[in-house]
């Protein structure tokens, strides 16, 4: 039986069973398949992979695995320049535009709070999510490995954390978002960029006490929702600053 040896690096090991993590292992096969298919057969979504070396040479996803191949699979590089090697997608994965699956509504609000363009609908089929990700060049965030294995998805990330605040810290660290954040610049409800508004423009939306105490307001030009720096603003600001400067998730 033909055999190929695989080794997965760094956080890609999250998808492997314990006995295959952080070590080389042999894989026997009868059919000829692409390296992309082999990688995903182990449970690793192709969107998590940024570099594949076969016998020391970089290859793309279309490479067909041969008997005796030694295959090393690497995640997205944060610190190393691999521009001279075969990249597996036409643009860097670390874009700042997102689309989230239906289970991540709270995370969507948090990303919008930090100012990132984040599409979210609580009813959206997997096929539609994949289509949006591809055509609008958005990073697809999900906890569904199967969704990331769709061939049409080129930019995606599997969230390890299950709690929304931990997920936010994970995404900020994973995509180095801290330096790009523009907190309180986007509508939490509909994702539109906010605009400055005079008190008279939003007075009909304000509680009487708020109208007396505040003079600075933001308004969504799409849904019309008004925002101001209420008593919760300082607490939110402190939490956002902590999220932006949180260390990257250890692997």
What whole-number distance in Å separates Cα of residue 179 and Cα of residue 244?
8
Look-up of token digits 């307001």 = 217
What whole-number distance in Å separates Cα of residue 61 and Cα of residue 190?
37
Would the pTM count as exceeding 0.85? no
Answer whether 153's CB lies under 8 Å from 47's CB.
yes
Q: Which helix (H) or strand (E) holds 25?
A: strand 25-28
What whole-number distance in Å separates Cα of residue 116 and Cα of residue 225?
18
What whole-number distance in Å separates Cα of residue 12 and Cα of residue 48?
7
Q: What is the pLDDT of residues 126-154, one digit of tens each?
A: 999 999 999 999 999 999 999 999 999 98
| pLDDT class of 244 with cuts at 50, 70, 90 | confident
pLDDT for 86 equals 67
CATH of domain 3-75: 3.10.20.30
Pairing relation of β-strands 98-100 and 118-119?
parallel
Answer whether 202's CB lies under 8 Å from 185's CB.
no
Quote the Cα angle for 216-228-113, to 5°: 125
How many CA atoms within 13 Å lie on the side-chain side of 152? 13
Q: What is the pLDDT of residues 18-75, one digit of tens each?
A: 999 999 999 999 999 999 999 999 999 999 999 999 999 999 999 999 999 999 999 9
| pLDDT class of 79 with cuts at 50, 70, 90 | very low
What is the residue-averaged pLDDT of the chain? Answer: 89
Dihedrals φ, ψ of 249, to 5°? Answer: -65, 130
């Amino acid at each position: 039986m033909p055999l190929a040896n695989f080794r997965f690096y760094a956080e890609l090991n999250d998808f492997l069973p314990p006995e295959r993590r952080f070590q080389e292992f042999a894989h026997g096969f009868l059919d000829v398949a692409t390296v992309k298919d082999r990688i995903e057969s182990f449970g690793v979504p192709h969107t998590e992979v940024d570099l594949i070396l076969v016998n020391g040479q970089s290859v793309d996803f279309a490479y067909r695995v041969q008997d005796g191949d030694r295959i090393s699979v690497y995640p997205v590089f944060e610190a190393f320049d691999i521009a001279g090697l075969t990249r597996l997608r036409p643009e860097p994965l670390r874009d700042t535009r997102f689309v989230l699956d239906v289970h991540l509504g709270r995370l969507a609000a948090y990303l919008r709070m930090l100012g990132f363009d984040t599409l979210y609908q609580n009813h959206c089929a997997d096929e539609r999510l994949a289509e949006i990700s591809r055509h609008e060049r958005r990073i697809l965030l999900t906890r569904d490995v199967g969704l990331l294995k769709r061939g049409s998805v080129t930019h995606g990330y599997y969230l390890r954390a299950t709690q929304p605040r931990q997920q936010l810290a994970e995404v900020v660290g994973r995509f180095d978002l801290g330096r790009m954040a523009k907190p309180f610049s986007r509508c939490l409800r509909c994702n539109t960029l906010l605009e400055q508004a005079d008190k008279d423009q939003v007075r009909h939306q304000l509680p009487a006490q708020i109208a007396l105490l505040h003079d600075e307001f933001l308004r969504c030009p799409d849904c019309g929702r008004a925002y101001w720096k209420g008593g919760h603003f300082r607490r939110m600001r402190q939490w956002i600053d902590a999220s932006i400067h949180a260390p990257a998730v250890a692997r």
